[in-house]
Amino acid sequence: MRIRPLFNKVFAPAKVNLTLHVTGQRDDGYHLLDSLVVFADVGDRVAVMEADETSLEVTGPMAEGVPTDATNLVWRAAALFDRPVKITLSKHLPAAAGIGGGSSDAAATLLAMAELTGQKQLPAGSVELGADVRVCLMRQATRMRGIGELVDPVTNLPPLHAVMANPRVEVPTPAVFKALPNKVNPPMSAKLPKWQGTKQLIDWIVAQRNDLEAPAMGAEPVIADVLSALAALPGARTARMSGSGATCFALFETRGEAEEAALHLAKAQPDWWVTPATFS
C-alpha cells in the first residue's frame, strides 16, 4: 500500500512598514533603516509536498508573471533542504509592491520545509535569500534596523485596521532609493512608546515618516493618487505608503470602518488591488 506523501501548508502574510526612516548609507551602498513592521491578515499561501523532484506551480489571482523556476525565492528556499518537493504557491499579493511578498513567501517556505523535514534549525543561508526574509520569519510586530539584520519584537501592539491599495504598478526599489535626496534622516525614538490603544498608536504613526514616499511618487506619480484616495475615505485617520511602494494603506480605528471604506474604494477604482486588513 502506497504511503501518502507528507504535506504542509503555511500562510505568507503581507509585510507592512508602518514607518520607514532611512537613517544612513554604508560604504557598500546598502541603506540603513529604522522601521516599525507589522503583518497583515491577507497574504499568499505556500504548500509543500514530498516528490521525486522539486517543482513549483504558481496559482491564484496574482499568479501572472511569477516565475516557476529556480529563480523564484520560494524554490531557492526549498532547495536549502535536502528534500525534493512539489511546491504550490498561491499568489494573492501583487508583486514588487512594497509589502514583502517574495520575502514572506520564502519565509513561509522555510517554515513549511522545516516542519516537513523535522529540522529544528533553519539551514545556513536562509536569511541571505533577501533583506526582508529575517523580519518575515518573525511574523509579528517588529522594529527592524540596520540593513534588516537587526530585528526586535514589539509586544502588546494595539490592533490596527486598514485599507490596503495598490494601483497595479511595479516600483523598482533600487531606483527609489537612488532618487532619495537625503540618505541621512532622523530615526524613530530610541525607545518606542507603550501605546494604550489603537487611537494612541495611530496618533504616533501620524508623526512618523516613510522617507521613500516622495522618490516613489517621482517614479510612479499614481502613488500620489492612491494616497489621496485613501486619505479621503470616511473614517481614515492617515494614509501612508509601505516600503518602496506602490502599495499604500489608510488606518482606521475599527475593522467595520475599514471594511466599509474598502468597498467604497474598490467600487471607485475597480482596476486597483484593494482589500481591508488588520495589522498585528
Active site positions, annotated = 15, 132
Helix runs in the chain, H state only: 73-79, 101-117, 133-138, 173-179, 198-206, 213-219, 222-231, 255-268
User: What is the amino acid identity at position 118?
Assistant: G
Cα angle 215-217-220, degrees, rounded to a multiple of 5 = 115
Instruction: For cell 502588546, name the residue.
Output: 156
Backbone angles phi, psi at 234, to 5 degrees: -60, 125
Cell digits for 84?
525534493
Residue 97, sorted as left (phi over 0), alpha (psi -120 to 50) or beta, turns out to be alpha
**Cα(first)–Cα(last) distance of the chain, in Å?**
45
Q: By C-alpha distance, which of 96, 103, 95, 24 is closest to 63?
A: 95
DSSP string, 220-249: -THHHHHHHHHHTSTT--EEEE-TTSS-EE
Cell digits for 56?
513549483
Question: 16 - beta bridge partners?
Answer: 38
